[in-house]
Amino acid sequence: MAKHKGRAWHGRLLAAALGVTALAAATSVWTAQADSTGERAPQARASAPAIRPVAVDIAHASDQGARGVNITIDDGPDPVWTPQVLQLLREHGVKATFCMVGTQARAYPGLVKAVVADGHRLCDHTISHDTAMDTKSESYQSQQILDAERMITEASGGVRPQYYRAPGGAFTPYSRQLAASRGMRPLGWNVDTKDFEQPGVDAMVATVQREIADGPTVLFHDAGGDRSQTVAALREILPWLKEQGYAFGFPVR
114-172 pLDDT tens trace = 999 999 999 999 999 999 999 999 999 999 999 999 999 999 999 999 999 999 999 99
Catalytic residue among 124, 147, 221, 222: 221
Catalytic residue at 60?
A: no
> CA 32, CA 148: separation in Å to the nearest integer?
21
Cα gap 153→147, rounded to integer Å: 10
Contact between 239 and 62 under an 8 Å Cβ cutoff? The reply is no
pTM of full prediction above 0.75: yes
The distance in angstroms from the start CA to the end CA of the chain is: 20
Give the C-alpha separation, 82 to 193, whole Å.
17
Which residues does residue 59 pair with via DSSP β-bridges, in sequence order? Answer: 187
Tell me the pLDDT tens digit for each residue of 60-105.
999 999 999 999 999 999 999 999 999 999 999 999 999 999 999 9
Catalytic residue among 10, 74, 124, 129: 74
* Known active-site residue 221: yes
Which run of H or E residues covers position 103? Answer: helix 102-107
